[in-house]
């Protein structure tokens, strides 16, 4: 079932939030965070690494859409091996604006080498609605 876009009745910053750990899903599996409404503008994505990911070779956390899986956070956008909070602003206008339809957002953790035994993060996508959708 596709995600339903969340929309408040006032002018507010909206957000999607997802907790993810090294063992939340199989490596490379995209997990839905929810959907942003048509025409919404993404302000930033914040990734808080709570516990460092420790796969032996690579630890990659990306955030995007089904059409562009790293539109909001690309590989190298955060250091998954260090406890920190990183605010990532989309690099292009395409990453800022949703399509003409509601857009589902996904987070994906991929690892290689010896499998991770630790790692957890919280991902928050902040967005605002187009002004014509609010009264």
Beta bridge partners of 110: 60
Which is more confident, 9 or 19? 19
pLDDT confidence tier of residue 123, bands split at 50, 70 and 90: very high
Work out the angle at residue 22's Cα, subtended by the Cα atoms of residues 18 and 25, and round it to the nearest 5 degrees.
70
Residue 91's pLDDT is 66
Which of 24-38, 88-102, 116-130 has the least mean pLDDT? Answer: 88-102
Q: Kindly report, residue by residue over 58-90, the tens digit of the pLDDT.
A: 999 999 999 889 999 999 999 999 999 999 987
* pTM passes above 0.95: no
Residue 89's pLDDT is 86
pLDDT confidence tier of residue 120, bands split at 50, 70 and 90: very high
The CA R_g of the chain, rounded to the nearest whole Å, is: 15
Rounded CA-CA distance 2/83 in Å is: 32
Residue 113 · residue 24 · CB < 8 Å: no
What proportions of the chain, in percent to the nearest 5, are helix, strand and coil? Answer: 5, 45, 50
């Amino acid at each position: 079932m596709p995600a339903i876009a969340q929309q408040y009745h006032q002018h507010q910053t909206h957000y999607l939030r997802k907790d993810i750990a090294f063992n939340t899903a199989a490596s490379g599996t995209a997990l839905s965070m929810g959907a942003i409404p048509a025409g919404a503008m993404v302000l930033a994505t914040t990734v808080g690494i709570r516990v460092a990911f420790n796969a032996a070779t690579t630890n990659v956390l990306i955030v995007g859409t089904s059409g562009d899986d790293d539109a909001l956070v690309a590989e190298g956008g955060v250091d998954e091996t260090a406890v920190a909070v990183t605010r990532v602003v989309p690099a292009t206008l395409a990453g800022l604006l949703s399509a003409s339809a509601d857009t589902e957002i996904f987070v994906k953790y991929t690892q290689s080498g010896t499998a991770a035994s630790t790692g957890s993060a919280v991902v928050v996508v902040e967005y605002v609605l187009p002004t014509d959708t609010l009264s």
